[in-house]
Amino acid sequence: MAPEEEHDFDDLLVLLKETRGFDFTGYKRTTLMRRIGRRLESLKLRDYSEYRDFLELEPEEFTRLFDSLLINVTGFLRDTAAWQALRESVIPRLLGGENAGKAIRVWSAGCATGEEAYTVAMVLAEELGTERFRERVKIYGTDLDEKALQVARTGIYNERRLRELPSDLRETYFEPVENGFAFRRDLRRQIVFGRNDLTHNAPISRVDLLLARNTLMYFNTETQLNILRRFHFALADPGFLFLGKAETMLNHGDRFEPVNLRMRLFRKVVSTFPADRAPWPAVGSGEAHDHRLPALEAAALSSGPVAQLVVDGSGTLAMVNSRAESLFNLNARDVGRPFQDLEVSYRPVELRSVIERACQDQRPVELREVTWHRPGVADGGVFDISVVPLLAGGEHVGVGIHFSDVTRYRRLRDELERANRELEQAYEELQSLNEELETTNEELRSTNEELETTNEELQSTNEELETMNEELQSTNDELQHINDVLTSRGVELDQANQFVSAVVRSLGDAVVVLDEELRVMVWSRGAEELWGVRSAEAVGGKLDALDIGLPLDSLDPYLRAALLDGQSADPAGRMVLNAVNRHGRPTPLTVQLSHLRKADDSVRGLILVMNVLDHA
């Protein structure tokens, strides 16, 4: 997207925030652009700037735009297997043990038209019974769309909305009303619906179960992190989080632990920070402590997991721990030798100049990821080396050298980079199959340095797909409604056509309707039988071009005169003509002329009603 177009898009989001209070800056830009692009296409507008001007001129468009952006796709018992897992894994923990008899608070965040809140109400009522449900349970349903919340508050749904609900639950918890089926009024009192912006408003507190199914996937990564912090604060201990199938918590293990990862059920992790810690036990006191301290220091140095050397001020190896002895093939006889005479002084890296620099600058020198290729060893080691000046009483007495083995971390990083490269190739193949995911794949290919970032982007891809699925479902619902309307209109049209046909048949033996140029608009079945010309052949052609036995030379002047003055050819509007029928027999008939008029009473054409005279 060009910078100018990006700027126009940002201006549009600012307009929505300032004029309507909807802040979409935390939503995924790709989803917003796609949904707003549909409005631009339907209105035949070129860019966001034109659409911004259109919104200022047509305030009603805000409603249509929000209906498009706030995708309210939900349903009763959506993903039945996930709800079953909730019932088996989470509900018993909420109701049993120490929680028996305790009040239960549930929050359905992003509840849309309320099906999710009523579903969890049915699940809890099935476990508790209706009496204990009314005593213990309080359910809060929140959403950003006030229009959807109005539907949720009424609790009335048509049969199509309830088709996924088992018949026993529908009969138990819904009552038939005029417009469909209403949730039971006695249980409805335990459910409260209200508007809440997850990105700005304070969360509902002390919640035992929080449902946010396919809600987080509409937000970008930073906004998702902020919302999850609010969710962690909102949940009690123990508190459970129920997400949608496109949402994961791979990078939030410090806040939530999985109960059932495949079904997206998580439990709040409570951070424990003890108020005070027991002090370390004293080694000794007085002279006894002073006597044991050198031995402790020697033991600590020798058993340390990091290879460590100490070089005194004269450049002599003064101390070496057991890890360094085994790593560099040193022994007790090497202590006291000049450090520069030892192999470790130049292998795996030249340390003499590094020691000199550390002594001169009087500050530590760090060497990162030094590779050591040892003879006879297939896999070389990788080390982080620290050279630290040692001071005693403010005087320089030597340096300490630490070799931290980071081989395993280097291998993990290499494996991670290889995995990232493989993932990048997979995303490129996915891009060729689905153009809608091109932007997401580009973002994924550019963020392969850490596994956490890769997982975040993969999650974003899944959420984008689920968003598109919900958009398609919303579109299908709209098409189904249009089809229902078209079917109804088709039935009405058929009835109207039957009525008109009955009227035409009742007017006379043959009826012909002509336009202002005397072209046939209607050719009745009686006209087909009388003249032997089918309706498909006659309609659209001029009357005088038809090969029929009607004396058109005599009739034509009357027709044209009637069109010009808006009156019939004679005061009675009727004439008698001698015609010849389809069988070639003389057939005297009467022709009644009437005007076909427009809404303003001007003449649009003529109606000819022909009746065969009875010879008797």
Contact 387, 368 (CB under 8 A): no
- Where residue 413 falls among pLDDT bands split at 50, 70, 90? confident
If one compares 291 and 552, the residue with the highest pLDDT of the two is 552
pLDDT 10s digits, 79-94: 899 999 999 999 998 8
347 backbone dihedrals φ, ψ, rounded to 5°? -140, 125
- To the nearest whole percent, how much of the chain has pLDDT over 90? 18
Sheet architecture: strand order including 365-372: 317-320, 307-312, 395-405, 381-392, 365-372
Give the residue from 334, 290, 280, 340 showing the smallest Cα distance to 315.
340
pLDDT at 453 over 80: no
Give the residue from 432, 427, 440, 433 showing the smallest Cα distance to 466.
440
Average of per-residue pLDDT values in the chain:
82
Label the pairing between strands 381-392 and 395-405: antiparallel
Q: Which residues neighbour 573 within 8 Å (Cβ) at sequence distance 6 or greater?
A: 592, 593, 594
Contact 462, 430 (CB under 8 A): no
CA distance 496 to 505: 14
pLDDT 10s digits, 513-534: 988 888 998 888 888 888 888 8
Q: Which two tokens stand for residue 176?
A: 């038939």
CA distance 252 to 248: 9
CA distance 382 to 371: 4
**What SS3 state is found at 513?**
strand
- Where residue 171 falls among pLDDT bands split at 50, 70, 90? very high
Q: Which two tokens stand for residue 151?
A: 């539907």
Beta bridge partners of 372: 381
pLDDT 10s digits, 281-326: 333 334 444 444 455 555 666 667 788 888 888 888 888 888 888 7
Give how far Cα 576 sits from Cα of 438, 535, 562, 612, Å. 77, 24, 16, 10
User: Which of 51-65, 286-300, 442-456, 472-486 is predicted least confidently?
Assistant: 286-300
- Where residue 608 falls among pLDDT bands split at 50, 70, 90? confident
User: 383-415 burial, b for 16+ CB within 10 Å, e for fewer?
Assistant: bbbbbbbbeeeeeeebbbbbbebbeeebeebee
Q: Which two tokens stand for residue 350?
A: 């030249």
Contact 8, 47 (CB under 8 A): yes
CA distance 482 to 173: 30
Q: What is the pLDDT of residue 378?
A: 59
pLDDT at 331 over 90: no
Q: What is the mean pLDDT of the segment spanning 425-450?
A: 63
Q: Which two tokens stand for residue 181?
A: 């089926």
CB atoms within 10 A of CB 301: 17
pLDDT at 443 over 70: no
Residue 125 falls in which region: left (phi positive, over 0), alpha (psi -120 to 50) or beta: alpha
**What SS3 state is found at 475?**
helix
Q: What is the mean pLDDT of the segment spanning 13-33?
A: 82
pLDDT at 427 over 80: no
Contact 389, 364 (CB under 8 A): yes
Q: What is the pLDDT of residue 438?
A: 55
- To the nearest whole percent, how much of the chain has pLDDT over 70? 86
**What SS3 state is found at 270?**
coil
Q: What is the mean pLDDT of the segment spanning 462-491?
A: 83
Contact 519, 538 (CB under 8 A): no
pLDDT at 616 over 70: no
Q: What is the mean pLDDT of the segment spanning 321-350?
A: 82
pLDDT 10s digits, 221-261: 888 888 999 999 999 988 999 998 877 766 677 788 999 98
If one compares 264 and 451, the residue with the highest pLDDT of the two is 264
User: Which of 126-130, 250-254, 388-392, 468-472 is predicted least confidently?
Assistant: 250-254
